[in-house]
Structure formats: structure tokens, C-alpha cells
Chains A and B, each alone.
Chain A
Amino acid sequence: MNSSVIVFPGSNCDRDIAFALEKLQFKNTMVWHKDTTLPKSDLIVVPGGFSYGDYLRSGAIAAKSNILNEVIKAANDGCLVLGVCNGFQILTETGLLKGALLKNKKLKFLGKDIYVKTINTDNKFCNKYKKDQVLKFNIAHNEGNYFTSTDHLKELEDKNLIPFKYCDEKGNIKEENNPNGSLNNIAGIFNEKKNILGMMPHPERMVDQMISSNDGVNLFSSLLN
């Protein structure tokens, strides 16, 4: 499977996610934001970091870069797109995913391990997970507080477009386990066709038992399924 990781000035999780992809035998290419063409890709990853120093709004400047025009075209043609952390913010700024990521409710940058529960596993990104599985992921963000209109929130719930929700170690989805104030404890969302996934937690940081856990592996292996 061919993957492309987009690199912006200020990306800092690009190499981590490339490592995860290559570990799972993806044939990966790094793509600079100024490029105007994408290599042949089955999966495009918009990685985490602080593209353009988070100027204006997180992801706002990156969303207008050359390569994003190509990402938008590919995504609209059905290519799989994964946006992690700043990547999720960039995808909402392009409009590929609806809603916005606001400042964390308690105004603090959060860098810690958290738990998420798998809500929807019937899709290309999560099919190797079991439903209601509790996963340990890591978050590192200042703007992860997912916000959207009441109508769209209802649509996300009704059409099962939420793969992950923040929970406690036992899988209870409660407000006190919501690290950033995200609506309905949302940690990630799909577009309607489920070929685009945006999520705040970093699955690429959880692909090696020795340094963390293996909970992120199945996200990448699902894509190969």
C-alpha cells in the first residue's frame, strides 16, 4: 500500500508516523507542502505538529498550501486520508471535515496518555479493533476541543461517524474523562463517506510495546486489511 506523509514547516510528528507506516510495510513517501503533485497514494497522512507556528488559527495557513489542493482533490475522489492532531485541525480548516478545534477548555496544553473507546469499527481505519475496545493513546495539543453545529453533532452520532471517544481506563465515557472539553467526548470523526479520519490522539506513538503500547498498531494494520 502506498502512503504519503505531508510535511509542513513546523510538522513534528511526520517522521514518527512515517516510522509507524514503514514498520507495517507501507511504501511511504514524504511530500513537501510546496509540491504541486502527489505521488500515487492509497493513503495520505496529514501529520501532527505546529504547522506555521499555529499562526492565525491552528491549521489555517497549512490548509491553504499548494499540496492541500491536491489532497482535497484526492480525498474527494475517495483516497483514504488520515489527519492526526494538527492534521485534524488542518482537515477541518480545509472543510474536508466539518467542525473546528477550539482551545482546550481548561486552557492548558495537554501532553499525556489518555484512554479512548472504539465506537465505530466498521470502516477502513478501525476494522482490526473490536467494538467498545479501550485503547491507550497519547495526546499533545492546545486546541483539541472539538466543536460543531448541533445539527452536525446529531448527524455524527446518528450516522455513526465517530470512531473514538475519550473514556476512563474501564471504558466509561464521562465528562470527567474528557481532557479538552470536546463535544460528546469526541476524540475523532469521519466524513460522511468514512474515507477521511481526523483524530486528536496520536496512534503513531503507540506502535512499540517497548516505549509505550501497541494500541496504535491496529489503526495502521486495518488500512492494509
Chain B
Amino acid sequence: MKFSIKVTLKKNVLDPQGKVVQQTLQNMGMNTLKSLRQGKYFEIDVNENNESKAKNKVEDMCKKLLVNLIIEDFEISKI
């Protein structure tokens, strides 16, 4: 069963990379751009057919390694 994980910096954490990307896009003339935050994306395939069990395993992986909960939030979706 496949899942995608979106990892983003928490709202109160500065994202200097995102800011530079945002400024560059604005300098390129993308004037409608209001704000931009940069994040990470993972795709995980787990050997488990029960969706809620599989999701729990992925959540465990996020909490134990993939995500630093002090500075990051995550969102799991089934693919």
C-alpha cells in the first residue's frame, strides 16, 4: 500500500529557502504570488493490506525519523 507524505516547516519557523524562491519568482514578474513555503515529499510503499494499520506504520516512521516534530508538520495521504 502506497502513501505520500508532505513535510512542511511549522508556521512559526522561518523558511529562508522558501523566501528566496518566492523573491526570485516575484523578480521574474510573477506578481500574483502572495507567499511560498518550501517543504519535502516522500513516497512510501508498505507491506500491509489493512489501510489503518498501514497508515499507523507510516505515521510511526514519520514521528521516529522522517519528521522533526519541533520544527516540522506532516500530512499523510494514500496514493
State the A residues within 8 Å of B (CB). Answer: 56-57, 60, 64, 92-93, 98-100, 102-107, 145, 147-149, 181
Contact = CB atoms under 8 A, between A and B. Distances in A.
B17 A107 contact: yes
B26 interface: no
B14 to A, nearest CB: 7
B66 interface: yes
B71 A100 contact: yes
Given A56-B65, A60-B65, A181-B14, A102 B71 contact: yes
Nearest to A145: B14
A93 B17 CA distance: 21
A60 to B, nearest CB: 7
A93 B14 contact: no
Contacts of A148: 70
Query: Of A57, A103, A105, which is in contact with the most chain B CB atoms at under 10 Å from its CB?
Result: A57
Contact of B13 (A60, A102, A107): A102
A102 B14 contact: yes
Contacts of A98: 70
Contacts of A64: 65
Contact of B66 (A56, A100, A104): A56
A148 B66 CA distance: 19
A64 B66 CA distance: 12
B16 interface: yes
29 contacts: A56-B65, A56-B66, A57-B68, A60-B65, A60-B68, A64-B65, A93-B68, A98-B70, A99-B70, A100-B68, A100-B70, A102-B13, A102-B14, A102-B71, A103-B16, A105-B14, A105-B16, A106-B16, A107-B16, A107-B17, A107-B20, A145-B14, A147-B13, A147-B14, A147-B70, A147-B71, A148-B70, A181-B14, A181-B16
Interface in B22-52: none
A93 to B, nearest CB: 7
Given A98-B70, A147-B14, 17 more contacts: A56-B65, A56-B66, A57-B68, A60-B65, A60-B68, A92-B70, A93-B68, A99-B70, A100-B68, A100-B71, A102-B13, A102-B71, A105-B14, A106-B16, A107-B20, A147-B70, A148-B70
A145 B13 CA distance: 11
Contacts of B20: 107
B17 to A, nearest CB: 6
Interface in B1-23: 13-14, 16-17, 20
